[in-house]
Amino acid sequence: MAVKNITMPQLGESVTEGTISKWLVAPGDEVKKYDPLAEVLTDKVTAEIPSSFSGIVKEIIALEDETLAVGEVICTIDTQEGGAGEELPEVATVKAEGVATFDERSAGTHADKINNPNKARYSPAVLRMAQEYDIDLDQVEGTGLEGRITRKDLQKLIDAGKIPTKPETSDQPKQKVVSANHGFAYQPAHVPVLPGDTVIPITPIRRTIAENMVRSKQEIPHAWMMVEVDVTGLVQFRNSIKDEFKLKEGFNLTYFAFFVKAVAQALREYPMINSVWAGDTIVQKKDINLSIAVASEDVLYVPVIKNADEQSIKGIAKEIVGLANKARNGRLRTDDIQGGTFTVNNTGSFGSVQSMGIINHPQAAILQIESIVKRPVILKNGGIAPRDIVNLCLSMDHRVLDGLVCGNFLKRVKEILENISKENTSVY
C-alpha cells in the first residue's frame, strides 16, 4: 500500500484558496479514481474535488468550512500502488515566541504531532484571520478535529466582540497588518456593535471577493472613459425577431448578446485591449475569451465565453443563458471560469446608466453595458426624435492601456452597434 495526498486544486487562474463546504466521504471509505471526495467553494465556482487514485480514504485533514490554499493537502488515500507514498508538507506552527508565517503549510503527519507536542496546527485561513484581527491563538479553544481552531471559532469571537489579544509591550510596537496572500496593507475596522444592529458574518466567498477588489484597486491604476451609443436600430431589430427566436431556439435573445458580439469583434481589431498585466511583461492574448458577470442571491460569479469572436449572436446568447443557469444553480465547472481575457458587465440590467467597474485582475479592462433609455436626440437634419441610447463605460489599466487605443476601441464598438439593423445583421 502507498499513501497518496489529495490537494486543494486551483479552480481558476486568480483563485488562491478554496473552502471545503462538504465532505462526501469518510475515513475508511473505498473510492475509485475520479470519484468525488468533497465539495469546494471559491469566489468563482462551486465544484467537486475528484479522487486522483483508487483506494481507501485514510485521513480527512481539512475540516468542513475550512479554507485552504491551493496545493494544500485535504486528505490522504491508501492505494494499491507500490512504492513509498508522498510526504505530507510541513505544518504551520505556533511556538511560545509567536505565530508562523501564512505561507507555511497547515497539514501535518501524526509523527509530527508526536515528535513536536508543543506545536499547534493552523490552516492558512485561521492564521490570516488571527493576523487581521490581532487574535492571540493561544487563548482560543478550538472546536475542530483534535481540538484544532477553525474559522468558525474565530468568527464567533469576532462577532461577539470578544477578541483575545496579546498584551502590547514597549519593545513590541503594534505593526500594521499585511495580508500575506496578496501583499497589500489591510487593517480591518473595529466597529462598535450597538443595540439593534445586525451583525452579518463574512462568508468565504464575500471575503475573497473583497480581497480581490482591494487588490485590484491598490495594484491597478484605473482610468475611465464613456461613450454614448444610439442603439435604436438594434432595439427595433431585436424586438422584431425575439418572439420567433424564442419559439425556434427555446431561449431568449437578449440585448446583452449583441453587445458581447460587438465587443468581441472590436477586440479582434484592437488586440492590445485583450491583454493581461504580467509583472515584468504585458501578455497580449490570442484568444478572445470574455468574462461575464453573473449574480446569484449574494454572490457574483464571472464565467467565461470562450472564443467569443468566432461565435454568432445566437451562439453567444446560448452561452450566456447556459453559464448564468450554471452559476445560479452552483454548477459551474473549473473550465467555465478559467481563461478570461476581458470582462463585459451587464450593469444595465439593474437600471444603471453610468458606473465605473473595478478591473478583473489581471485583465487590462472591463466594460460596463448600461441601461438602454429613451431620450430626445437632435438629428443631423436639425429635427428632434426619441432614440434608444446606451452608455458604455470602460475602466482601463493605465499601465497597459492609454486613452488613444481605448478611445479607438470604444469608437469601434459604437460604430458596430449603431449599424445593427434588420437589413445588415444576422443572429446566425
pTM of the model: 0.65
Q: What is the pLDDT of residue 206?
A: 74
Return per-residue pLDDT of the chain as tens, 428 residues.
Answer: 688 999 998 876 667 788 888 899 999 999 998 888 998 887 666 778 889 889 999 999 998 888 888 889 999 999 865 444 344 333 332 322 332 322 333 333 333 433 443 345 566 667 777 877 888 888 888 887 667 788 778 888 887 778 888 765 545 444 433 333 334 444 455 678 888 888 888 776 677 778 778 888 889 999 999 999 999 999 999 999 999 999 999 999 999 999 999 999 999 999 999 999 888 899 999 999 999 988 766 677 889 999 999 999 999 999 999 999 988 887 788 788 889 999 999 999 999 999 999 999 889 999 999 999 999 999 888 899 999 999 999 999 999 999 999 999 999 999 999 999 999 999 99
The one catalytic residue in 159, 243, 335, 402 is 402
Would residue 190 show up in a list of annotated catalytic residues for this protein? no
Residue 21: what residue type?
S
Q: What digits encode the pLDDT tens for the residues 218-232? A: 899 999 999 999 999
CATH of 220-418, one of 3.90.800.10, 2.60.40.10, 3.30.559.10, 3.30.465.10: 3.30.559.10
- CA distances 24 to 63, 72, 107, 151, 275, Å, are 12, 18, 20, 21, 40
Enumerate the CATH 3.30.559.10 domain ranges in the chain, comma separated. Answer: 220-418
Neighbours of 85 (CB within 10 A): 16
Assigned CATH class of 1-216: mainly beta
Would residue 402 show up in a list of annotated catalytic residues for this protein? yes
Enumerate the CATH 2.40.50.100 domain ranges in the chain, comma separated. Answer: 1-216
> Helices marked H in 75-184 — which ranges?
110-115, 124-132, 151-160
Q: What digits encode the pLDDT tens for the residues 325-356? A: 988 887 788 788 889 999 999 999 999 999 99
Nearest to 394 by CA among 426, 425, 363, 422: 363
CA distance 75 to 51: 10
CA distance 37 to 41: 13
How far out from the chain centre does Cα 368 lie?
18
CA distance 155 to 277: 35
CA distance 271 to 387: 31
Find out whether 271 and 288 touch, Cβ atoms under 8 Å: no
